[in-house]
Every structure is written in structure tokens, then in C-alpha cells.
């Protein structure tokens, strides 16, 4: 009877070990699922942050572009008005600049 009782105890112990192993596997699967979801969430957050940064940079670049274009238009208007006010002086300045550039190119 003692052999039968030992076998019965061994069977119960093996069954408990099997149940504990199954529970451990189940717990690991849950933790792995949670880890995967956390990684997905982190990836989504990183993607959203990157998109936001791109949008911010695009907005800043457009703003700088617009400012540069406006300044170029202002410069053009100012230059035009000065040429209209003093055409002879403007022509002499342009000729002088052309002469200097010509001399520089001739030396090469």
C-alpha cells in the first residue's frame, strides 16, 4: 500500500507541476502580449511625434520662405524707385560695376 500511496502522491505532484507549468506559460504569454502592445504604443507615439516635428519644420520653412520673398520684393521696389529718381547715377554705377567685373574676368 505504501507503494501505491507513493505512486498516488507522485501522480498528484506531477499533476500540480504540470498545472504550475501551464500557469507559468499562460503568464508568460500574457506578459509577452503586454510587451508587444507596449512596443506598438511606443512606435505609434514615436511616429506621431516625428510627424508633428515634420509639420513644425515645414511651417517654419514656409514662413522663412515667405519672409525672404517679401524682403526680395521690397528690395526690388526700393531699387526700382531709386533708379527712377536718379537714372544717370544708376547707369554710372551699373557701368562701374560692369567695368570692375570685366577687369576681374580679364585677369583670369
- Do residues 43 and 36 lie in contact, with contact meaning Cβ atoms separated by under 8 Å? no
Residue 96 lies in a domain: no
Length of the chain: 108
- Host domain of residue 64: 2-77
CA angle, residues 46, 50, 56, in degrees to nearest 5: 145
How many C-beta atoms lie closer than 10 Å to residue 12's C-beta?
10
Residue 89 lies in a domain: no
Which residue shows C-alpha cell 577687369? 103
Residue 99 lies in a domain: no
**pLDDT tens-digit profile of 42-100?**
999 999 999 999 999 999 999 999 999 999 999 999 999 999 999 999 999 999 999 99
**pLDDT tens-digit profile of 5-52?**
777 787 788 888 889 889 999 999 999 999 999 999 999 999 999 999
CA distances from 96 to 11, 67, 89, 90 (A): 108, 31, 10, 10
Amino acid at each position: 500500500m505504501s507503494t501505491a500511496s507513493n505512486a498516488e502522491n507522485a501522480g498528484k505532484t506531477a499533476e500540480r507541476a504540470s498545472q504550475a507549468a501551464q500557469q507559468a506559460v499562460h503568464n508568460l504569454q500574457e506578459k509577452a502580449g503586454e510587451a508587444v502592445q507596449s512596443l506598438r504604443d511606443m512606435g505609434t507615439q514615436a511616429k506621431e511625434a516625428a510627424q508633428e516635428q515634420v509639420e513644425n519644420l515645414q511651417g517654419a520653412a514656409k514662413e522663412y520662405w515667405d519672409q525672404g520673398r517679401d524682403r526680395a520684393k521690397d528690395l526690388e521696389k526700393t531699387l526700382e524707385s531709386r533708379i527712377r529718381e536718379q537714372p544717370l547715377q544708376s547707369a554710372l554705377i551699373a557701368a562701374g560695376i560692369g567695368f570692375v567685373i570685366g577687369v576681374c574676368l580679364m585677369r583670369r
